[in-house]
Amino acid sequence: MTHEEISVAVHAEQKAHREAQRTLMAEYDRGYYARLKELRVACEAIGHKWRFTHLGPLNDPWFACGICRATKVEIDSEGKP
């Protein structure tokens, strides 16, 4: 094989690898996100365990549930000073 042929073949292999990853992960993710949603609904039913994580870009406090990893932001409804 020449350098040109190897380069073209490597590029084709990497492209096929990326496409396979996209296809396989898309199929997996359909079930994954549905299962996560079910678990988060179950956690919400018995009460999330919210913990402050950080301030967002607009200085709003963000929280994550320590059990199911759901996140939420609490926006100050009275506006910022």
Stretch that binds Zn ion, among 6-14, 27-35, 36-44, 73-81 (CB under 5 A): 36-44
Cβ partners under 8 Å of residue 80, min gap 6: 58, 59
79: left (phi over 0), alpha (psi -120 to 50) or beta: left
For the bound state, the minimum distance from the C-beta of residue 49 to Zn ion, rounded and expressed in Å, comes to 6
Based on the shown chain and the rule CB under 5 A, indicate whether residue 39 belongs to the binding site for Zn ion.
Answer: no
- Residues between 44 and 73 with contacts to Zn ion, criterion CB under 5 A: 48, 65, 67-68, 70
Confirm if 36 and 11 have CB atoms less than 8 A apart: no
Q: How many of the chain's residues bind Zn ion (CB under 5 A)?
A: 6
